[in-house]
Amino acid sequence: MRLLFLLISLFLCFTGIAQETEYQSLILDKSLTDNANAVVRLDEMKINLLATNKMLYEVRQVVTVLNKEGNSYATNRVAYDNERKIKSLDVFVYDKFGKELDHIKKKDFKDVSAADGFSLYTDDRLLVNRYTPTSYPYTISFNYTVETSDTGFFPPWYFLSNYKVSVEKSYYSISYANEQLKPEIKELNLASIEVSKKDEAGKIVYEAENIQAIKSESLGPAFRDVVPRLRVRLKKFNLKGEEAQVNDWKDMGVWMKNTLLKNRAILDDATIAKAKNLVAGVDDDLEKAKIIYKYVQDNTRYISVQIGIGGWKPISAIDVDRVKYGDCKGLSNYTYALLKAVGVQSYYTVIHAGNRQVDFDPDFAALQGNHAILAIPYNDTYYWIDCTSQVNPFGFVGNFTDNRKALVVKPEGGEIIKTVAYINEDNYQFTKALYSLNPSGSITGNANITTKGIQYDNRFKLERNTEDDVLKHYKSYWSNINNLKVGNYSFENDRDNVVFTETVDLSATNYASISGNRILFTVNTFNNNGYVPHRYRNRKLPFEIQRGFLDEDEFTIQLPDGYEIEAMPTEKTIDTDFGTYKVSFEKNSQTNSVVYKRKLLIKKGVYPKEKYAAYRDFRKQTARADDAQVVLVKK
């Protein structure tokens, strides 16, 4: 007994000493501290795959936090649910000499609901602990073991976890019990680092050392597109008790069809009759689909409830029909069922939604995505509908799910298909305005704005805003016009053609500045685009214009009597790789007015970092030209 005790205490002493020397942070390699708020000393995940429904993983993450910006690492959290159990969990904190400051045990962690901010209810939970640092640098070591029966979401590997963080040592291993369990791995962006890889019987290991931090830059690519990482999948996996055998997306689609979507699209006879009644007399499938979509939009709302496999399985159509609400899966599946009832084919589609376009990888069939929509095939093309929106026109998905590869679940299996794209001229705005300038410097007039594509998406919700919010919108949209007063306004939303038209009467005092006998005013009153990209001393990443747009403007300005033009900007055309800018000024002495025409085209594209300065220069010139002034002088 006594001996054992001695041994243990000796061992503890020994490890104590080892840690002290190991995790000092007085001397760190400069290549790791450059641009970094934290240095990950060790990032280690050891996965032990025992069966398709049994996996253990052991995580060890030791991070030296250099300043308060790196404090996100002082908050440690692990998620758990019915399938995912936390076996062990603790945190050690060391000072800069590597001396232990604190030891936080599993029982010290707070148990909280993993509220995602948009769900009414979720049964996922988290254990969380937050450490308060007292000085910098400090080192925090976070260790836990998880056992789970879910292997459908296989933990992927990121060699860098975030911007402004470097990694001293990264270690990822997967041990698998038999050859059938061997995971498939896809390497991404590994060129920028040196990785050693071992692939031996029953074990795969990836290791890398001294990975430097990267900084985020505006207009830069998504982090996931620059970070060295591994995508991992099992061909045979388990998701919340459902077994799957998936070689490719086709199989994935079949599996979804047979498990997650099975028997979900049943409706009662009364509802089927009602749906049929709605489309009575309509033959064309697309027209029928429009009617059904409108019915869903008018009769349901989005409420997210995630229980158990609910994260993947839609609530049944019959339940949605009863309560008239659901999440994206429930509402998509419900609409699918209604369309089916009226003989229109549609496909349940899993997608990665968000302003940033993220593709499903066609060669790598692994569970992913955060949203569900429907694809409706018609005349060799697809119409996409988002059933969680009560306002989108039929077939219009906006910047939430546009132009990206998604998994379309067809009866014969899954297929990766790209959604509708809105590019360059598609995102159109035309502003036609007429205003008169008074000798006092005030203006009165009206503007008419027509938008399409993503620009429509940015505007059409105005229709539903309260007057207060509409006025706030214009005051901020035309923040270049001080003392703006908005009078009557009206909107027209052409849902069939996806065109939104705003007509606004307005006035503003002191718009022009008076300087002695002269009146100076900016000609571009209604679409003054002052955007200039952020300046970088040393740009590191390429940049991207995700969608592009085209603006055209035509303003007629009635000049005050008794004044003549002393100076007027000249016509200008700037043509670049990134787009075109064109302005003209036309004087009409007869009516004493000026007609200003402007066109700004910004083109979608990915450009190398070397071109960033040129792009910035282009936008500087356009911003500058938008501010061009006309000078009037008293006759």
Partner 1 sequence: MIKFQNPLLVIIILITSAVSAQDFKFGKVSKEELQEEVHPIDSSAAAAVLYRKRSVHFKYVLNQGFNVHINVHERVKIYNQSGFKHATVIESLYKNGGDKENLSELKAFTYNLEGGAIKKQKLDKSGVFTTEASKNRSEKKFTLPNIKVGSVIEYQYKIVSPFFYSIDELVLQYDIPINSQKISIAVPEYFSFKPNVKGYLAVDPKYKTEFGTLKVATGKSLSGGVTSTKELRYSINVTNYDSKSIPALKEESHVNTMENYRSAVKYELKYTQYPESIRKDYTTTWEDVIKKIYDSKYFGDQLKISKYYKDDLEALVGASNGNKELMSAIFSFVQKRMTWNSINGYSTDKGVKEAYKEKSGNIADINLMLTSMLQKAGLDANPILVSTRNNGVPLFPTREGFNYVVASVQMDGETVLLDASNKYTKPNLLPTRALNWYGKLIKKDGAFSTVNLLPKKVSKENYSMSISLSENGDIEGKCRTTYSDYDAYMFRNNNASTEEEDYLEKLENKNAGMEISEYAVKNKMTIGKPIMESFAFNLESQADVIGGKIYFSPLFHMALTENPFKLEERQYPIDFTYPRQERYVMNIVLPEGYEVASKPEDVNMVLADNLGGFKYKIVENDKSLQVMVDFKINQAVISSLYYADLKELFKNAVEKQTEKVVLSKITSDGTSESSEGGR
Q: Tell me how many helices (H) and strands (E) the chain has.
A: 12, 39
Residue 261 to residue 252: CA distance in whole angstroms: 12
Query: DSSP class of residue 551?
Result: E
Closest CA to 32 of 74, 63, 9: 63
Are the CB atoms for 173 and 57 separated by under 8 Å?
Answer: no
- C-alpha pair distances (Å), 194 with each of 83, 170, 331, 377: 36, 11, 46, 46
Burial (CB count <10 Å: 0-12, 13-18, 19+), residue 132: exposed
Closer residue to partner 1 in complex, CB, 137/228: 137
Structure tokens at 15: 């490890």
Question: Cα-atom radius of gyration of the chain, to the nearest Å?
Answer: 30
Among residues 515, 589, 610, 635, the one that binds partner 1 under rule CB under 8 A: 515
- Work out the angle at residue 215's Cα, subtended by the Cα atoms of residues 214 and 218, and round it to the nearest 5 degrees: 140
E strands, 546-617, in order: 549-558, 563-567, 572-576, 579-588, 593-602, 605-607
Closer residue to partner 1 in complex, CB, 298/363: 298
Taking the complex as a whole, the smallest distance from the CB of residue 217 to partner 1 amounts, in Å, to 10
Write each residue from 50 to 89 as x if it is in contact with partner 1 (CB under 8 A), else as -, in one continuous string. -----------------xxx--------------------
- Kindly state whether residue 566 participates in binding partner 1, applying the rule CB under 8 A: yes
Which parts of 203-242 interact with partner 1 (CB under 8 A)? none
Which parts of 426-485 interact with partner 1 (CB under 8 A)? 464, 466-468, 472, 475, 479-480, 482-483
Which parts of 105-144 interact with partner 1 (CB under 8 A)? 112-113, 115, 120-121, 130, 132-135
- C-alpha pair distances (Å), 513 with each of 475, 522, 525, 568: 20, 10, 14, 15
Residue 100 to residue 103: CA distance in whole angstroms: 8
Candidate ranges 42-50, 298-306, 548-556, 600-608; the one touching partner 1 (CB under 8 A): 298-306
Closer residue to partner 1 in complex, CB, 37/419: 37
Are the CB atoms for 319 and 310 separated by under 8 Å?
Answer: no
Write each residue from 321 to 340 as x if it is in contact with partner 1 (CB under 8 A), else as -, in one continuous string. -xxxx---------------
Taking the complex as a whole, the smallest distance from the CB of residue 37 to partner 1 amounts, in Å, to 8
Taking the complex as a whole, the smallest distance from the CB of residue 537 to partner 1 amounts, in Å, to 6
Closer residue to partner 1 in complex, CB, 359/627: 627
Residues facing residue 519 across a β-bridge: 514, 632
End-to-end Cα spacing for the chain: 109
Which parts of 5-44 interact with partner 1 (CB under 8 A)? 35, 37
Are the CB atoms for 262 and 312 separated by under 8 Å?
Answer: no
Closest CA to 138 of 66, 229, 33, 242: 66
Please name the residue that has the structure tokens 């998701």. 239
Among residues 85, 87, 99, 624, the one that binds partner 1 under rule CB under 8 A: 624
Taking the complex as a whole, the smallest distance from the CB of residue 518 to partner 1 amounts, in Å, to 7
Taking the complex as a whole, the smallest distance from the CB of residue 138 to partner 1 amounts, in Å, to 11
Closer residue to partner 1 in complex, CB, 206/543: 543
Taking the complex as a whole, the smallest distance from the CB of residue 351 to partner 1 amounts, in Å, to 23
Taking the complex as a whole, the smallest distance from the CB of residue 309 to partner 1 amounts, in Å, to 16
Closer residue to partner 1 in complex, CB, 250/274: 274
Closer residue to partner 1 in complex, CB, 266/391: 391
- Kindly state whether residue 534 participates in binding partner 1, applying the rule CB under 8 A: yes
Closer residue to partner 1 in complex, CB, 200/298: 298
Taking the complex as a whole, the smallest distance from the CB of residue 508 to partner 1 amounts, in Å, to 11
Among residues 510, 573, 588, 591, the one that binds partner 1 under rule CB under 8 A: 510
Among residues 462, 520, 545, 574, the one that binds partner 1 under rule CB under 8 A: 520
Closer residue to partner 1 in complex, CB, 9/277: 277
> DSSP readout, 328-374?
HHHHHHHHHHHHHHTT---EEEEE--SSS-----TT------SEEEE
Among residues 257, 495, 518, 597, the one that binds partner 1 under rule CB under 8 A: 518
Taking the complex as a whole, the smallest distance from the CB of residue 515 to partner 1 amounts, in Å, to 5
Residue 621 to residue 191: CA distance in whole angstroms: 37
Q: Which residue type is seen at 252?
A: M
Taking the complex as a whole, the smallest distance from the CB of residue 70 to partner 1 amounts, in Å, to 9
Burial (CB count <10 Å: 0-12, 13-18, 19+), residue 295: middle
Residue 311 to residue 328: CA distance in whole angstroms: 10
Are the CB atoms for 63 and 136 separated by under 8 Å?
Answer: no
Taking the complex as a whole, the smallest distance from the CB of residue 315 to partner 1 amounts, in Å, to 9
Among residues 278, 532, 574, 595, the one that binds partner 1 under rule CB under 8 A: 532
| Backbone torsions φ then ψ of 43, nearest 5 degrees | -125, 110
Are the CB atoms for 141 and 99 separated by under 8 Å?
Answer: no
- Kindly state whether residue 488 participates in binding partner 1, applying the rule CB under 8 A: no
Q: What is the largest CA-CA distance in the chain?
A: 110
Among residues 301, 308, 355, 370, the one that binds partner 1 under rule CB under 8 A: 301
Give the number of residues in contact with partner 1, rule: CB under 8 A: 59
Q: Which residue type is seen at 348?
A: Y
Closest CA to 199 of 213, 183, 215, 214: 183
Closer residue to partner 1 in complex, CB, 88/510: 510
3-class secondary structure, 481: coil
* H or E element that contains 472: helix 467-477
Closer residue to partner 1 in complex, CB, 113/573: 113
Candidate ranges 41-49, 315-323, 490-498, 588-596; the one touching partner 1 (CB under 8 A): 315-323
Taking the complex as a whole, the smallest distance from the CB of residue 330 to partner 1 amounts, in Å, to 12
Closer residue to partner 1 in complex, CB, 12/391: 391
Closer residue to partner 1 in complex, CB, 196/476: 476
Structure tokens at 199: 């692939």
Contacts with partner 1, residue ranges (CB under 8 A): 35, 37, 67-69, 112-113, 115, 120-121, 130, 132-135, 298-299, 301, 303, 305, 319, 322-325, 390-391, 464, 466-468, 472, 475, 479-480, 482-483, 510, 513, 515-516, 518, 520, 532, 534-537, 566-569, 616, 620, 624, 627-629, 631
